[in-house]
Structure 1
Amino acid sequence: MSLNKEGAGVSTGSSISQRLASRMLRTAGWNIHPFPDIPRAIVVAGPHTSNWDGVLGLACGVALGLDARFMIKHSLFKGPLGWVLRRFGAIPVDRSKTGGVVGQAVEQFNTHDRMVIVVTPEGTRHNAKQWKTGFHHIARQAEVPIVVAAADYRKKQLTYPLILQPTDDLAADMQKLYAAFAEATPRRPDRLSDPVKVLRGSR
């Protein structure tokens, strides 16, 4: 699959913030691959073992000019905070609403020609026992691919080692995702989620 900077919500220009983020990443020695040429996708980011992962992810998103979205509970969108959250790409979701988070995310995809929703399925940076799988249900129902965004702290690079069209075999799909994460060296290997740690330890 070809790679360029005209995928889902990717800016074709070069703003001051993009140039600044790119310069900061280069200075830190990081190599950021262009985002795949895909108009709509669920991006599974990780491995998540440190607070620095979020900082790195934000810098990479800005450098790429990627209009990434993420889901946050609707109750936090009151007052000025709501404006700030929306400004940074947050999508309000109401877990009590019919269809739940999955239904609301699918609705977002159905009303946008270009959209990237970023998730961290490990859910925590400390030895998650298992991954949350809601993102897989969203991708299947919205008929969008799952893109793995893996940050390798040893090589200092962000790559997309797997683009997966989800199937009805959840277990098999999850194993492919675990394996993609296992190839990357996280900032804190001792904090890897259990499914990834098992595969990484067997290498």
Structure 2
Amino acid sequence: MAHDRKPTLLSRAVYASLLGLYRRRGWTAVAHRPIPKKAVVLAAPHTSNWDFIDFLGLTHDLDVRTRFMAKHTLFKGAMGPFMRDMGGIPVDRSRSAGMVEQMAEEFRKRDELLLVIAPEGTRSAPGDWKTGFYRIAHGAGVHIVCGFVDPDKREGGLGPSLMPTGDLEADMETAKAFYSSRNIVTPDFAALAAKLEERRGERQ
């Protein structure tokens, strides 16, 4: 849970309930250290609604505070404090500054920020990653950490980290080797790099 201010009673109650569900599932938390203070944390794979609960519990056991992006409209009214307490950062897609720029701005103004992103975006296509996680990390000049859940071993947490250079295919070799060791499906990073170059070309 985020701790920029004292969480509301509702937030604390929900958080405690989610941790209770996580603990009953018998997971073990592990981490490669040191953990960067600023990084994009990959949440892979994203195959179940349990992923959020498991990853929340794992990072709690590792004493790591993580955050996630959500539509800015979810932070309006009574939901606002709850979303922030749970670690949410609002993203306004109507702003001239896109998602990458907004998150780079968040990284610049914070001393610590571990931003969790599911690279697959949805649960419908395992291994079909988007390029957003890489563009944010490279744009902000921060590490990418290989977060993971391994249902077979009931183990999860934070794996190795890498610093993006702009060469997605070469940079992600570390991630590819790590996720392969965990039997986690990853994309064809050459094809993903080609998509990234295509996006760059469209912006020029």
The alignment's TM-score, normalised by the length of structure 1, stands at 0.74
Distance in 2 of aligned mates of 1:64 and 1:172: 29
User: 3-state SS of the aligned residue for 1:132?
Assistant: coil
Distance in 2 of aligned mates of 1:70 and 1:193: 21
Distance in 2 of aligned mates of 1:44 and 1:151: 10
- CA deviations 1:45-72 (Å, max 9, x no partner) are 1111111212211211233332211111
* Alignment counterpart, residue 144 of structure 1, candidates 138, 142, 145: 142
The CA deviation at 1:135 is 1.6
2:29 corresponds in structure 1 to 32
**Residues 28 and 36 of structure 1, relative CA distance in 2, 3 Å threshold:** farther
1:92 corresponds in structure 2 to 90
Counterpart residue type for residue 141 of structure 2: E
Determine if the alignment matches structure 1 residue 163 to structure 2 residue 161. yes
Determine if the alignment matches structure 1 residue 77 to structure 2 residue 75. yes
Distance in 2 of aligned mates of 1:37 and 1:194: 25
8 Å Cα contact 1:149/1:160 also seen in 2: yes
1:111 corresponds in structure 2 to 109
The CA deviation at 1:28 is 3.6
Identity of aligned residues (%): 39
The CA deviation at 1:195 is 4.4
1:48 corresponds in structure 2 to 46
User: 3-state SS of the aligned residue for 2:81?
Assistant: helix
- CA deviations 1:116-152 (Å, max 9, x no partner) are 1000011111224631111211111221110001111
**Residues 161 and 49 of structure 1, relative CA distance in 2, 3 Å threshold:** same
8 Å Cα contact 1:41/1:145 also seen in 2: yes
- CA deviations 1:44-102 (Å, max 9, x no partner) are 01111111212211211233332211111112221111221111110111112122010
CA RMSD of aligned residues (A): 3.0
Distance in 1 of aligned mates of 2:138 and 2:35: 19
Distance in 2 of aligned mates of 1:129 and 1:65: 28
Unaligned runs of 5+ in 2: 4-14, 190-204
1:57 corresponds in structure 2 to 55
The alignment's TM-score, normalised by the length of structure 2, stands at 0.73
The CA deviation at 1:173 is 2.8
8 Å Cα contact 1:22/1:63 also seen in 2: no
**Residues 102 and 31 of structure 1, relative CA distance in 2, 3 Å threshold:** same
The CA deviation at 1:181 is 2.4
Counterpart residue type for residue 136 of structure 2: I
